[in-house]
Amino acid sequence: MFDEQVNRLGLGTYSLTGDDGIEAMTAALDAGYRHVDTARLYENEAEVGEAIEASSVDREELVVATKIGHFEEPEKTPDYVRNGVEESLEKLGVDTIDLLYHHWPRHPDEIDTVLPVFEELYKSGTVEHLGVSNYRIEDVERATDLVDVPLYANQVEMHPLLPQEEPYEFCREQDLFVVAYSPLAQGEVFDVPEIVDVAEKHDTSPAVVSLAWLLSHDGVVAIPRSSSPDHIEDNLAARDLELDEEDLERIDSIDDRHRYEDPDWMEW
């Protein structure tokens, strides 16, 4: 799945809703994206399903990922998880989910409730791979001790302003892919001098440089979100941009380090 280069640059779909969202996602699939990432929280799984149906891409060529958890319902009972996955399958128009994430655990007890149901869904063939999202190192350790099937990926905020060195190294030691959301630091990379300099050197955009920086890391997948068909297509150039050692050192030297997704209840 993510060991195929074509899937290491996916499409984030947060806030892509309605007809405009369907149009943007369909254009992305037709342009060459083969990995699409959504969540129940985004309330656009039906639009993702419509885009898949409208595109010229066969289902077998796609990695379809969604998430369950976060703020949808305070109590994540086993039945809530099972019913939620059934709803996701119906909205997405698929028979299986390639990658199902547990989204933003609020408490260790939630991990204890959700992950065994994920294991059940994996063993039944409803889900091909299990993922977690915004899991800290201790959360990943808890999850791997809890279930007997392998976790596949941890989706976290990651970009040149938040390299996530320690979680990244830990995930690689555990043979987990790291899926980077907000890979453009919500647009801030466009104004970072080090990234701008590297972009000018390669006659490309800071967005492409930032994505290429992520893809230069073994086991990292990036899922930029854009509603612009032009930007969606331009981002694909990151697959082919090879940054040299000087470029990587320049980006790694950035002093500004901060995250954007930082809810009050989360202790990193």
User: Which residues carry out catalysis?
Assistant: 42
- Contact between 72 and 41 under an 8 Å Cβ cutoff? The reply is yes
Alpha-carbon distance 40 to 103, whole Å?
9
Q: How many CB atoms lie within 10 A of CB 173?
A: 8
Instruction: Give the residue from 23, 24, 30 showing the smallest Cα distance to 12.
Output: 24
Instruction: Give the residue from 191, 189, 209 showing the smallest Cα distance to 199.
Output: 209
Instruction: Give the residue from 97, 96, 80 showing the smallest Cα distance to 39.
Output: 97
Sign of the alpha-carbon dihedral angle for 28, 196, 154, 69: negative
Q: How many CB atoms lie within 10 A of CB 86?
A: 12
Alpha-carbon distance 256 to 251, whole Å?
11
User: Which tokens go with 173?
Assistant: 């030691």
Residue 151 DSSP one-character state: E
